[in-house]
Structures are given as structure tokens and as C-alpha cells.
């Protein structure tokens, strides 16, 4: 029996996103960390452990489509938990605790991704990546024009 494969559309993309995100959020819940907080920690980590506060809030607002006050609250929550610190005005750094937490989250996320993407040919993943990048670009253009 053959199963028909649905064409790529918003629903298919959304279902894949929400299933993957739910798997990651189960890991995050163990440490009391939200998805938004994990994105903020990644933003700081990706910049070597210290970055501009504005860069983190921009990444949250642009990537997660949340408003600036929500992005600022996320940063404040991480600072209050001792996972981020402000070594200089307008700068954020991972604390040792933040670095340790993010490393464990990244490892768990990588393990989930390895299981989820296992056996999918590299050329299929590359094609999907190209399509999704184009969809993202066009959707962001729609948002900017609205």
C-alpha cells in the first residue's frame, strides 16, 4: 500500500515544526527553560558567549516573530536566573551556569535531530533546506509589506 505524500504547504511545514519543537520543549522543561529563552541563549552562544543586547532581542523578534517587550522580558528572565549577565551596558554574556545549561540543551537537541533526520538522504535535506529558506524569505517579505 502506498501512502500519498502531501505537497509542501504551511500546514505540512507547521506540523513538522511543532512536532520538533515539542520534542525539544520536553527537554527544556526539565530545566525550567522556555523555547524563547533557549533561542536567546543560542544567540549569545553563537556570538562566542558575549554579544550586544540589541542583537539578542533582534534575533528573538525577527526569528520568533515576538514583539520587543516580550524579547526584553526573555532576556530579563535569563538574567534573573543567573544564566546571563551584563558585563557592560548593552552587552550580554553567558554565565558559567548559562554556558552549562546551553551546552546540555544543545547536546539534547542535537540528539533529537539525529534521530529525527536519520536515514533521510543528504540531497533531500538540502532540497528541503532550499525550499524552506525561500518560503521564509517570501513570508518575511509579506510581513514587511503588511
Under-70 pLDDT residues of the chain: 1-3
Per-residue confidence (pLDDT) for residue 4, from 0 to 100? 80
Per-residue confidence (pLDDT) for residue 117, from 0 to 100? 96
Neighbours of 52 (CB within 10 A): 14
Per-residue confidence (pLDDT) for residue 1, from 0 to 100? 56
pTM of the predicted structure, to 2 decimals? 0.89
CA distance 53 to 90: 5
Per-residue confidence (pLDDT) for residue 2, from 0 to 100? 60
Which residues 6+ apart lie within 8 Å of 38 measured at CB?
Answer: 24, 28, 102, 105
Amino acid at each position: 500500500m502506498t501512502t500519498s505524500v502531501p505537497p509542501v504547504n504551511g500546514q505540512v511545514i507547521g506540523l513538522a515544526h511543532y512536532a520538533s519543537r515539542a520534542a525539544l520543549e520536553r527537554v527544556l522543561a526539565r530545566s525550567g527553560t522556555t523555547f524563547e529563552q533557549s533561542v536567546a541563549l543560542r544567540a549569545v552562544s553563537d556570538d562566542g558567549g558575549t554579544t550586544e543586547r540589541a542583537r539578542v532581542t533582534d534575533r528573538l523578534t525577527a526569528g520568533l516573530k515576538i514583539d520587543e517587550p516580550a524579547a526584553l522580558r526573555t532576556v530579563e528572565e535569563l538574567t534573573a536566573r543567573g544564566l546571563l549577565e551584563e558585563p557592560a551596558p548593552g552587552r550580554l554574556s553567558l554565565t558559567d551556569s548559562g554556558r552549562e545549561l546551553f551546552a546540555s540543551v544543545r547536546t539534547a537537541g542535537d540528539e533529537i535531530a539525529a534521530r529525527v533526520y536519520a536515514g533521510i538522504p543528504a540531497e533531500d535535506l538540502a532540497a528541503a533546506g532550499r525550499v524552506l529558506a525561500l518560503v521564509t524569505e517570501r513570508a518575511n517579505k509579506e510581513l514587511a509589506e503588511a
